[in-house]
Amino acid sequence: MRLVDTHCHLDFPEFNEDRAEVVARMREADVVLAVLVGVDLVHHARLVETARAFGFPHTVGLHPNARTQQEPAPEALAELAEASDCVAIGETGLDFYRQRVPPEAQIARLRAHVRAARLVGKPLVIHMREADEATLSVLEEEKAHEVGGVMHCFSSTPEIAKRALALGMMISFSGNLSYPRNAHIREAAKIVPEDRLLVETDAPYLAPQPVRGRRNEPAFVRYTAEALAAARGTSVETIAEQTTANAIRLFGLERFLR
């Protein structure tokens, strides 16, 4: 069995003391690859350095809640994404829960990221929190279906999942799938076609229920795979096979697994 953690932040300071040990535990847990996801441009060099140190792919993007002095143009994002080991644009999207950045500025930022993805021909990593309708509307208007991507840490309803699927997006589930109160996420997990499923940790955040309260890490993606298997009435081995194949296809990960 092998798994891919399609969304984590191993470059964050939370891992500074034991990053190599975290990666070793990940590999012992049959997690063969982790995608390091960008959240701002100030620390993009740190992200790239960390990813390359372990032979992992990375993305480039500006989180909807990231404060910045200057919004990046689509062309600037596309230029950074031209790196051969950059596999996607994001994470980007809309987060109306915290609103550290005004909604109108978040929307403009999301549009820039979609345009960058279309320029470079790479998929999107979408963050969507309490902004379902607005996020999907922008993705539709900006023709995100031309590049596709993933709805990361999906936390919405089956109806929203269907709209995202219609845009050609994959649906990725994180540790919050396993939280007892999140029955609506498990209902959404049941209706996603097997060729659109992904799993992730969002480490260091959102540790799955069996390790909830601890710092999350890529090795724990197995718990999310187990929760997804339970929700769909199948085996964790089947989920691992499906989600790994999907991750390889979406992000072009074959070269990282040689």
**Helix pair 158-166, 183-191: axis angle to 10 deg:** 40
Give the pLDDT confidence score for residue 98 in this predicted structure: 86
Is residue 149 predicted with pLDDT exceeding 90? yes
Is residue 205 predicted with pLDDT exceeding 90? yes
Percent of the chain with pLDDT over 90: 98
* Residue 57 main-chain phi, psi, to 5 deg: -80, 160
pTM (predicted TM-score): 0.98
Q: Rounded to the nearest 10 degrees, how much is the dihedral formed by the CA atoms of 15, 18, 21, 23?
A: 20
Maximum Cα interatomic distance, the chain, rounded to a whole number of Å: 48
Q: Which helix (H) or strand (E) holds 32?
A: strand 31-36
Going from N- to C-terminal start, the domains of the chain cover 3-257
Give the pLDDT confidence score for residue 65 in this predicted structure: 96
Is residue 258 predicted with pLDDT exceeding 90? no
CATH topology of domain 3-257: TIM Barrel (3.20.20)
Cα–Cα dist 162/155, whole Å: 13
Is residue 70 predicted with pLDDT exceeding 90? no
**Whole-number average pLDDT of the chain:** 98
